[in-house]
Structure 1
């Protein structure tokens, strides 16, 4: 280990940059669908040694130190995000004639921007760098802060936060309920970087003991909380929900001549009889933008829905909602959810609040329009965001907390009113991304929202992955990617939890403070030794 560490520390020039990129790319293997957690240990061990080699002479100024550390973190982040997010380019190929030119921006441009967060993390950590285990505490605190910032700056994009890589199964997800995604990310970086101490020996005993204690606590709390999980609901009175996964190709959804048949495919799946002995579904769910036209402008379509639904059944469908704006201006369009009863009447609705930049709306639209650049989603004027999130109350009294597609990746955007909900409803259309890692990564993030809130998640996707997820992140029933069909399941109950967004954020800051104190004390001791 020491010989390997020395070789990495002494690397210079292009080989140093290439190893940083490779270290980041290796770390992305921990994310779905691969889920190779050991990759993150390799990744952060190499990053720690590379940072050891980035240290400049003790007399160098703050700017010089920060620049050296920022560079290695940026290249590391660039490799991580290219390897983990390359699939975003697939969305541009749905309408390749219009957007193929932007493929390099999606594959390399976005990672180059996101890598700035990791560059800033290593720059801050570098200012507190020492030769003991305090340096991995500095790295952990700064990465935790970077992931937290990535969650909300510039509308936020916390996709593939480091914490997701150490929470692939329910046993390993439960810490998220206490300290949240960003708290898990910070402590994970400490544990993942700990093997680097074996290569330099200084502070190895203390660092490895603390990393071992954190790992033991992570697994122990997971086992304890999982022991509280109730078996799947079998109550005959429980609300029965059907998820429709139609697997409609994105090109078909955008073809005017095919929209009627797409609509009928959804209806045909909705009308399938339940399995022998199973209860008729009370609620049927269709995925995001499943209705391929403006439903309120097509009364015949609402009549067809009423004909297919049996008395008392409810349809919850992803739709595009149109609303008249000022005279002479284009209507406002919303990415929405409708609740429709067996009479074909719309009885509740909710709009998407957090839109996807460049997909559903253009930031600085006037600027981009000068160059002929528009949204990926072909909607005149783009989508308009809803003013607030409206909970969906069904005639049965059940309450669904709606998250449309991308909204499920933001932990802190789920309000305290989620505790009133029977379930979180996440509808999405991941067909834009094809059979790539994207849908699998998105699914993992939706599962973690169940763990954090203690509320089951109903997730319905056009082509997968659709599933009923209990309050502990366990998959009760599901459909694999590109598996056309329906699944019926009774809804289970909520988890017993005393945690909230406020408590998770409080614990996150306590973790950052504790790690920072360790890093500062270690840095002070290091400077005393140098003098």
Structure 2
């Protein structure tokens, strides 16, 4: 298939071009964060679908999405190598199938934009709105998968990610797509329209950076006085659940936790204890002896609850002090095919457990003795904007317990860390991350990494908990901020396209 595309030349093979643009869009996101690639990749897609028919735009969007997700999510293949003899053959079909499914969302965005038949700066704003709506759907449909949102292009730039405190990651994605499409408008336009598109793109970039600098300037570096100790055991996923190694895994966490130094709260990662800790009195006694008075442990450990039909299993974070268990949180956003399998699919989980995990009731704030109230997000849960904090009882910090050992030293754990940084900004809360094989980190309420321990390293982080900030606009309103943002974007685009001048001539 070829087409003459204005601004891109004639005789360009469209499908390879749009697939390559989708792959290049993966470079826009962490850990690469090559911002100049955004107008090249997303701008090319905008030009390709401008003026196209609905179904052609749908096809182009799907091919773009296929390239984007196939490259951006290629790290998932690492998880199939943990038990390569059983699951290795599934890696390519799984990534291909997931990419093809997720590509439907860019396809819908492009088809919706094509139906609107709008060009110029207004077209750029409409394209950005359609893309944002499709990303929002991707984050919610069938439990959602809001990984690698367009707004994460700004995650590693201190001032540029700060507006997420007001408009969230979906809103940042709208701005990224609008600026990218305006650059494409300028490439194709001439005269005043070109100048207007460039001016609006420049204004948006300046406003984004300026607002970010102001938020950073208003945020003095403050700490709470609460002393943290994060333990990164670095236990290989293939060894984690081997019965003959469980005692050594537990002993490793106790040794690391007992290193000299003062702390108030001890933090172990997801499933750090490879068994049912709340049923193991001897293990609880060893933890109590290690903690001593006035200290609390937060650790990932599965748990189970008996009911009339057998037992229900939960992926949990449990809190202990010297007297025993004090609180528990059960993960509510479970990983499909890892922690449960839809009953209508005749396939098995990648994680061996006696049964599917049961989702918990939702975000919850834990009250711990002598500590600020804490919200908990286990692993995958930290990727969901607006869904990590209990709205009824706002915590002072978020504990993200995770196990990224499944993904080795790939880009996956780095992308996961970027999500945690965005949640910190959106909520105005520090995020403390304990990861089995890394990356463990202390992240302040502005998304800055205060302390970190890299991948495949065993050790501890001793740090002080950063202070929280008052609830942000996004924390208070959530995604209700998005419709007004789109209206403002459309109004600015209308003015750029000469709307005010046309109105004056009519009056």
Please give the TM-score of this superposition, normalised by the length of structure 1.
0.88
Mapped partners of 1:218, 1:419: distance in 2 = 31
Are the equivalent residues in 2 in contact too, given 1:133–1:204 (CA < 8 A)? no
1:414 alignment counterpart: 388
Residue matched to 2:502 = none
2:339 — aligned with what?
Answer: 360
CA contact (8 A) 2:365 2:390 kept: no
1:72 is matched with which residue: 52, 56, 60?
Answer: 60
> Residue in 2 aligned with 1:474?
448
In structure 2, the residue matched to 1:349 is: 328
Is the 1:21–1:80 contact (alpha carbons within 8 Å) kept by the matching residues of 2?
Answer: yes
* Partner residue, 1:27: 25
Residues 310 and 81 of structure 1, relative CA distance in 2, 3 Å threshold:
same
The residue number in structure 2 matching 1:248 is 235
Deviation at 1:36, TM superposition (A): 1.2
Map 1:434-449; keep pairs closer than 5 Å.
434-449=408-423
SS at 2:358's partner residue? coil
1:305 aligns with 2:303: no
**Alignment pair present for 1:340 and 2:320:** yes
1:226 aligns with 2:216: yes
Distance 2:435 2:141 in 1: 27
Alignment partners' CA distance in 2, 1:28 and 1:418: 37
Deviations 1:233-277 (A, max 9, x none): 2x6xx2111000111100110211111101110110000012xxx
Q: Give the distance between the partners of 2:494 and 2:352, measured in 1 at CA.
A: 52
Q: Which residue of 1 aligns with 2:10?
A: 10
Map 1:377-388 to 2 at 5 A. Answer: 377-388=351-362
Specify the alignment match of 1:182 in structure 2.
170
Contact 1:416/1:500 (<8 A) preserved:
no
Could you tell me the TM-score, scaled by structure 2's length? 0.92
Query: Is the Cα–Cα contact under 8 Å of residues 232 and 476 in structure 1 kept in the other structure?
Result: no
Q: Please list, as runs of the form range in 1=range in 2, the aligned pairs for 1:424-463 lying within 5 A after superposition.
A: 424-463=398-437
| Offset at residue 497 of structure 1 (A) | 4.6
The runs of at least 4 aligned residues of structure 1 exceeding 6 Å deviation read 517-523
1:216 paired to 2:206 = yes
Which of the residues 131, 140, 147 maps onto 1:143? Answer: 131
Which residues of 2 match residues 287-302 of structure 1 at below 5 A?
Answer: 287-302=269-284
3-state secondary structure, aligned to 2:359: coil
CA contact (8 A) 1:352 1:386 kept: yes
2:187 counterpart (192, 199, 202): 199
SS class of match (1:124): helix
Cα distance in 2 for residues equivalent to 1:191 and 1:418: 36
2:217 and 2:493 map into 1 onto residues whose CA distance is 36
Structure 1: 5+ residue stretches without partners: 57-64, 275-279, 526-531
Distance 1:455 1:514 in 2: 28
2:38 to 37, 40, 45: 40
State the partner residue of 1:492. 466
CA RMSD of aligned residues (A): 2.3
Partner of 1:99: 87
> 3-state SS of the aligned residue for 1:36?
coil
Are the structure 2 counterparts of residues 295 and 422 from structure 1 closer, same or farther at C-alpha, using a change threshold of 3 Å? same
Residues 60 and 107, structure 2, Cα contact 8 Å, conserved in 1: yes
The Cα shift of 1:510 comes to: 1.3
Is the contact made by 2:474 and 2:481 (CA closer than 8 Å) also made in structure 1? no
8 Å CA contact retained: 1:129, 1:138:
no
Q: Deviations over 1:187-237 (max 9, x none)?
A: 21010122212331153222221111111110001000000122242x6xx
Partner Cα distance (1:497, 1:336) in 2: 26
| Distance in 2, Cα, partners of 1:315 & 1:24 | 44
- Distance in 1 of aligned mates of 2:199 and 2:155: 21
1:258 matched to 2:245? The reply is yes
CA distance in 2, matches of 1:77, 1:359: 24
Single out whichever of 106-115 and 494-503 deviates more from structure 2.
Answer: 494-503
Q: Distance in 2 between matches of 1:410 and 1:299?
A: 35
The answer (yes or no) to whether the contact 1:287–1:318 under 8 Å persists in 2 is: yes
SS at match of 1:398: coil
How far is 1:304 from its partner? Answer: 1.4
SS of residue matched to 2:391: helix
1:134 to 122, 137, 150: 122
How many residue pairs end up in the alignment?
495
State the Cα deviation string for residues 337-366 of structure 1 (Å, max 9, x = none): 1111124x1111110011111111112x2x
Contact 1:194/1:207 (CA < 8 Å) preserved in 2? Answer: yes
Contact 2:164–2:474 (CA under 8 A) maintained in structure 1: no
Q: 2:503 — aligned with what?
A: none
